[in-house]
C-alpha cells in the first residue's frame, strides 16, 4: 500500500450489524473496509481487522479520526482502540454536533448518528430536498429539506432481518439466498419467498416515497437516495429511487467533521 498524504482522516461508522471504515485524502475516500459488529471483540482484535486498511507506517500520518456509533458498548471499545494505537484527535458526530440542522424535537440526542450523517451527507452532496433510505439491520426512511430541516424518520425491520425471522419461525421454510426475484408470483417455495421478501420490501419503499412526496408537495424537487449494503439488489425494483450512494453515511461523517472543525 502506498503511503498516505499529510492530510489523512479515518472515518468509522459503528452499526448494529456492520462497522464500516474509510480513509479520506484530499476529500476523497481512498480506502474502505467493512466487518461485522461484535461486542465480544477487544480493541486489539478490532485493530487487527484494520491492518489491511492501515499499515503500521501510516498510523502517525492519520491526523484526525471521525466516529459515529449507534452501539454505546462498541463506541467505548473503539475509543480505547484510538487511545491505544493512534495519536490523532478524535471527533464524534451525533445529533448534538453543530451542523446547522434543525430538528422538530427539543432534545434530538436520541437520533442515531447514522441518520445525522445520512442527512448531512445528502445536504452537502446534493443540495436538495432529500429522501434517504438506508437498507441496514433496520430500513430507515428519512426526509430532510434543502434548508436543513430534519423532518423525521420511519424505521422498519430490515429486509434480511425480516427474512431471518420468517425462516426461524416457519418450520417448513428453509433459508435461501436473497437474490432478485424472477417472477411476481412464485410457483415454488423459493420463488414465492423471493417475491414476498424482496418485492414486498421494494413495494413498501416505493409507497413510502410517493406518500412523502405527496405530504411535502410544496417542495419543488425531492430526490430519493438509496444506500446500504443491499442497495444494488433493491434499487431496480424501486422506480422512484434517483441515486444509489453507498458511501453517503461515511461521506456524511467526514463532511460533518470538516464543518465543525473550522
Q: Annotated active-site positions, please?
A: 114
Q: 233, 180 in Cβ contact below 8 A?
A: yes
d(CA 79, CA 77) in angstroms, rounded, equals: 6
DSSP letter (8 states) at residue 26: T
Contacts of 71 (CB under 8 A, 6+ apart): 14, 15, 16, 37, 39
Cα dihedral 170, 175, 178, 180 in deg (nearest 10): -70
d(CA 133, CA 126) in angstroms, rounded, equals: 15
Amino acid at each position: 500500500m502506498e503511503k498516505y498524504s499529510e492530510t489523512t482522516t479515518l472515518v468509522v461508522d459503528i452499526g448494529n450489524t456492520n462497522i464500516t471504515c474509510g480513509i479520506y485524502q484530499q476529500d476523497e475516500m481512498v480506502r474502505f473496509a467493512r466487518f461485522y459488529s461484535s461486542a465480544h471483540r477487544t480493541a486489539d482484535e478490532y485493530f487487527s481487522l484494520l491492518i489491511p486498511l492501515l499499515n503500521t507506517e501510516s498510523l502517525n500520518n492519520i491526523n484526525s479520526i471521525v466516529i459515529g456509533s449507534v452501539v454505546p458498548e462498541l463506541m467505548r471499545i473503539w475509543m480505547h482502540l484510538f487511545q491505544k494505537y493512534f495519536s490523532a484527535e478524535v471527533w464524534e458526530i451525533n445529533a448534538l454536533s453543530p451542523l446547522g440542522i434543525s430538528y422538530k424535537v427539543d432534545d434530538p440526542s436520541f437520533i442515531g448518528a447514522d441518520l445525522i450523517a445520512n442527512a448531512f451527507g445528502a445536504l452537502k452532496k446534493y443540495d436538495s430536498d432529500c429522501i434517504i433510505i438506508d437498507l441496514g439491520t433496520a430500513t430507515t426512511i428519512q426526509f430532510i429539506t434543502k434548508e436543513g430541516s430534519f423532518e423525521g424518520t420511519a424505521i422498519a425491520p430490515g429486509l434480511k432481518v425480516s427474512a431471518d425471522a420468517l425462516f426461524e419461525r416457519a418450520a417448513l421454510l428453509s433459508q435461501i439466498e436473497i437474490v432478485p426475484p424472477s417472477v411476481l408470483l412464485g410457483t415454488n417455495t423459493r420463488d414465492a419467498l423471493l417475491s414476498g421478501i424482496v418485492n414486498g420490501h421494494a413495494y413498501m419503499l416505493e409507497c413510502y416515497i410517493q406518500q412523502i412526496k405527496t405530504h411535502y408537495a410544496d417542495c419543488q424537487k425531492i430526490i430519493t437516495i438509496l444506500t446500504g449494503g443491499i442497495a444494488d439488489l433493491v434499487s431496480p425494483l424501486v422506480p422512484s429511487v434517483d441515486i444509489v450512494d453507498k458511501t453517503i453515511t461515511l461521506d456524511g461523517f467526514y463532511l460533518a467533521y470538516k464543518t465543525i472543525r473550522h
